[in-house]
């Protein structure tokens, strides 16, 4: 029989051989917390006991977070986030990992993700505030579908004469209230229609120059300039 006296197994130190438990040799150990407890030699040699049991509640809590939450909505959201960003065979890889959307290092561990995001409120899903950026505490939130749609709208990119900016940037550029532009966008307006000078003057209005009524599109064609330029000239007119 191997003498285990004075061996250290995790937080336990073997004190001395004690009476068998059934036919199994047993040893008395002292835990770092000072508690003395009997363990089987076979278990001590395998290194299985961690402590006398004093830190069992903490260990169970940690285990619960890693293993007891695999069926929760938070874990499902976390798992699918990690999959689509790291797994090349995932169906959505092309829209995520393949497009450079990453999961921050901290969130590769579910415990950290859950600590930062907290429980998922009913009716919400994991949302990135800025769609061009990856998954991180700063860029993520639990959001309802409506909240996410509103967010998408403010991030809409619009190309006018080869120049791409967000809808908000264009609104500032053309000096039109963003709320007006958003409302038009919601109604299906596109391109320059969104940034027409005033809500009181529809974009199709005719502009009378030297007694000739023409729409801005017609003026643009007539003057050989882009719509944007014609619009800006009309605005200063
Ligand atoms: Zn202990």
What is the pLDDT at residue 237?
Answer: 57
| Better-scored residue on pLDDT, 210 or 91 | 91
pLDDT of 34 above 90? yes
Query: What does the DSSP assignment read for 172-231?
Result: HHHT--HHHHHHHHHTT--GGGGG-SBTTB-TT-EEEETTEEEEHHHHHHHHT--HHHHH
Distance 54 CA to ligand 1 centre (A): 4
Judge whether residue 203 has pLDDT over 60.
no
Centre of ligand 1 from the C-alpha of residue 118, in Å: 32
For residue 55, how far is its CA from the centre of ligand 1 (angstroms)? 7
Interval 86-111: pLDDT, tens: 988 888 888 899 989 999 999 998 88
Which pLDDT band holds residue 202 (cuts at 50, 70, 90)?
very low
This model's pTM is above 0.85: no
Asked whether the CA dihedral 110, 115, 119, 121 is positive or negative, the reply is negative
- Calculate how far, in angstroms, residue 57's C-alpha sits from the geometric centre of ligand 1: 12
Mean of the per-residue pLDDT values for the chain?
84
């Amino acid at each position: 029989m191997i003498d285990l006296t004075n061996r250290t197994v995790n937080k336990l130190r073997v004190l001395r051989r004690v009476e068998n438990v059934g036919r199994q040799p047993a040893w008395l150990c002292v835990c770092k917390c000072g508690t003395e407890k009997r363990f089987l030699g076979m278990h001590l040699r395998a290194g299985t006991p961690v402590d006398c049991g004093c830190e069992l509640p903490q260990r169970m809590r940690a285990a619960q977070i890693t293993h007891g939450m695999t069926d929760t909505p938070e874990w499902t959201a976390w798992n699918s986030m990690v999959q689509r960003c790291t797994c090349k065979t995932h169906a959505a890889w092309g829209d995520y990992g393949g497009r450079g959307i990453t999961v921050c290092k901290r969130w590769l561990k579910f415990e950290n993700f859950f600590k930062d995001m907290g429980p998922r409120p009913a009716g919400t899903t994991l949302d990135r505030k800025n769609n061009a950026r990856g998954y991180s505490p700063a860029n993520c939130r639990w959001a309802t579908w409506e909240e996410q749609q509103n967010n998408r709208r403010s991030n809409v990119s619009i190309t006018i004469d080869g120049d791409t900016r967000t809808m908000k940037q264009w609104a500032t550029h053309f000096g039109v209230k963003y709320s007006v532009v958003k409302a038009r966008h919601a109604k299906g307006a596109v391109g320059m229609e969104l940034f027409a000078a005033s809500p009181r003057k529809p974009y199709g209005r005719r502009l009378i120059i030297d007694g000739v009524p023409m729409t801005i599109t017609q003026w643009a064609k007539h003057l050989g300039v882009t719509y944007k330029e014609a619009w800006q000239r009309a605005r200063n007119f």
